[in-house]
Structure 1
């Protein structure tokens, strides 16, 4: 286990939740890993109460499940379940982008471009640990202008359940160049105010990511 930060802000439960979530999404805690409350409480130097509350929150997000005789474990998804999540992603994210593009301000576009530059650098340096979070942040910043907070909340939850797989897929498939190129194409269409082109590019981007991931997973599970 990696060293944990010293907690100084927000509630202890918030901080335990955030740190555990980050470690699950990064793959530090892989699918099927048993999250022992006593061990986690000892590592963070807190009581079991905030740990239990944090695990319950992560259960609600779909990242953790509680099993008889095992307690909390990091959720495992079947290939069919992952594929279904990508289908939902494509439907909802395309709708969010359709609403967002006409509302994007120069400040919004600058924010998206800034995160895209950081993402590019992470790709070039091979910083795998950052890919998933930067990918989510790129898409999130595009969608914020949609003024659809409930849909965005659903997308964020789905993202939490797929980012650990897409991050591994990019590393295994070597598809980073394609992903980087597709992100720039989507951004340029948004910048030009071309809603239909941006939505079409996004749909193709999500589908190609899903297809590549499914192929990797099926090979790994044969």
Structure 2
């Protein structure tokens, strides 16, 4: 009974988003469901159905069925035919692999950024850090995550690697869900301090220090998983 109640409570946290101009209903459904999964409004293990989601979004079940199928392929939803569907549990192996991708790429990116950056580039990073500090205690965790991600996106853009960033952007969505969880439960000021330290190393053009800092910064995610798993074992895949 308590599990059913918890599931109902989770569904009450579901947030609808405004449909974008020229966005197909199927894409809209995917975007909203994915947003709620990454934002932990639909925590891992929450049971959902096409009917419930279609009612919440006020759309037909066909685009919701399509969205479920697409999100299953992305490992965000588990579908049990003729039974139910549920939000996938957090898979530590996926987080480890995406973390590895980011660390490997960003150590090279940060080296390039230290070697060639403009005053305008430094201003972009400084403004981002100010935004994070301003929103650090904000309850909108998705916004805070986006500010955090934008810091790293700016690094890719400074290094003239926009295509590389776009290629990995979708692959790190599971990483983003864990990051939201991390922001919810861990010390947000640590992210701010580490971004400030990385920024200072870039200003000093100290690539050795910046590489070490970015590796430590991106390794925290996998280290923190052990704490989160011990506190919320039901959210994680065995």
TM-score scaled by length of structure 2: 0.76
**What CA distance in whole angstroms lies between the structure 2 residues aligned with 1:54 and 1:91?**
32
Greater RCO, 1 or 2 (C-alpha within 8 Å, sep 6+): 2
For residues 141 and 96 of structure 2, the distance between their equivalents in structure 1, rounded to whole angstroms, comes to 23
Equivalent positions of 1:57-72 (< 5 A) are 57-70=70-83, 72=85
Paired residues, what number? 221
Change (3 A) 1:9 1:186: same
Write out the 4+ residue segments of structure 1 that deviate beyond 6 Å after TM superposition: none
Given the alignment, which residue of 159, 169, 178 partners 1:165? 178
Q: CA deviation at 1:185?
A: 0.9
**Aligned-CA RMSD value:** 2.9
Report the CA distance between 1:101 and its aligned residue: 4.3
Stretch moving more, 142-151 or 36-45: 142-151
User: Counterparts of 1:153 and 1:131 in 2: how far apart (Å)?
Assistant: 20
Larger Rg: 2
Residue 6 of structure 2 corresponds to: none
2:29 is the counterpart of 1:16: yes
Name stretches of at least 5 consecutive residues in structure 2 with no aligned partner. 1-11
Q: Structure 1 length as normaliser, TM-score?
A: 0.81
Cα deviations by residue, 1:168-190 (Å, 9 ceiling, x for unpaired): 234323x2222210011112222
Compared CA separation, residues 166 and 29, structure 1 to 2 (3 A) = same
User: Is it true that 1:190 corresponds to 2:199 in the alignment?
Assistant: no
Q: Secondary structure at the match of 1:193?
A: coil
Q: Which of 202, 209, 215 is equivalent to 2:214? A: 202
Kept in 1: contact 2:75–2:88 (CA 8 A): yes
Residues 91/6 of structure 1: CA separation in 2 closer, same or farther (3 Å cut): closer
Residue 40 of structure 2 aligns to a residue whose secondary structure is coil
Equivalent of 1:117 in 115, 130, 139: 130
**Does structure 1 residue 25 correspond to structure 2 residue 43?**
no
Q: Please list every run of 5 or more consecutive structure 1 residues that lacks an aligned counterpart in the other structure.
A: none
Structure 2 contact 39–141 (Cα < 8 Å) conserved: no
